[in-house]
Amino acid sequence: ADIETLDLKTLTLNPLLGNALRLRETLPTSAINKIEIKENNEPLVDIKEDAALFLSESLQAQPNVYLRQSVYARLKKAQTLLPENYFLKICSAFRSLKEQEYRWAQKLGQNRREHPNMSAPELEHLTKSQVADPRTGFGGHQTGGAVDVTLCRSDGTEYDMGTGYSALSPEIKTSSKKILLTQRKNREILKMCMEKAGFINYPNEWWHYCYGDRMWAAYSKRKTCFYGLPEKER
């Protein structure tokens, strides 16, 4: 079936349609970081004023929300592939290295207060499971090629995806079988539309999609990618 013709009844009756929830082995960080970057210097664009895209409350509070130009275009394409009354809601887009360092320090401090008996290595291990460690390099969000996204209705209320965005539980895996059929269906809708627009999903987080960065290249079995740090970050 073509994604343009899919309806909710079809998806409910056939939850594995299009291999939307096919199992994929999660690649190690070392394999992703080996991808060679051949930066194409594509600019970041501000998507804040695009009324067709819903933004989370945290992004609405920011003066600007940036993504690479082609990532933005592919988001627009994905939006056109969604069923009626389904819309994309962006939860996180480009994050500067400075912002990532702040997030890391904030979460590490919180964990230190909540787990006073943990050793320093244990605290770092816990924090790494929650926030990308900026000391080991940069991730997809720092390139402008990664976006965290969910689905919402025309009034902005979010569909049930099985867990909240950025939750910490086994159920955040895209192919989790420990969620309800309706929740799996919503993940399928998001995944099929995003993949048809050219994105790759990170299997350990149902909300994380990327294009052009090292993760996208690694999961696409490419040897090079074309998004590294944007010019203003280099």
pLDDT at 40: 96
- For residue 85, what are the CA distances in angstroms to 16, 130, 152? 22, 32, 8
- pLDDT, average across residues 158-185: 94
pLDDT in tens, 86-142: 999 999 999 988 888 888 898 899 999 999 999 999 988 888 777 777 777 788 999
Band of pLDDT at residue 84, cut at 50, 70 and 90? very high
pLDDT, the chain, mean: 87
- pLDDT, average across residues 139-157: 96
pLDDT at 203: 94
Q: Is the pLDDT of residue 12 over 50?
A: no
- pLDDT, average across residues 12-20: 40
pLDDT at 130: 73
pLDDT at 125: 84
pLDDT at 138: 85
Residue 183's H or E segment, with its range, is helix 181-196
| Angstrom distance (rounded) from CA 47 to CA 202 | 23
Residue 104: both structure tokens together: 């890391």
Percentage of the residues of the chain whose pLDDT score is greater than 90: 68
Least confident interval from 108-117, 147-156, 179-188, 208-217: 108-117
Other CB atoms closer than 10 Å to residue 100's CB: what's the count? Answer: 19
Higher pLDDT, 17 or 65: 65
Q: Is the pLDDT of residue 152 over 80?
A: yes
- pLDDT, average across residues 48-76: 95
pLDDT at 234: 64
pLDDT at 3: 35
Higher pLDDT, 82 or 232: 82
Q: Where are the beta strands (DSSP E) in the chain?
A: 36-37, 44-46, 54-55, 66-68, 87-92, 146-152, 200-201, 208-210, 224-225
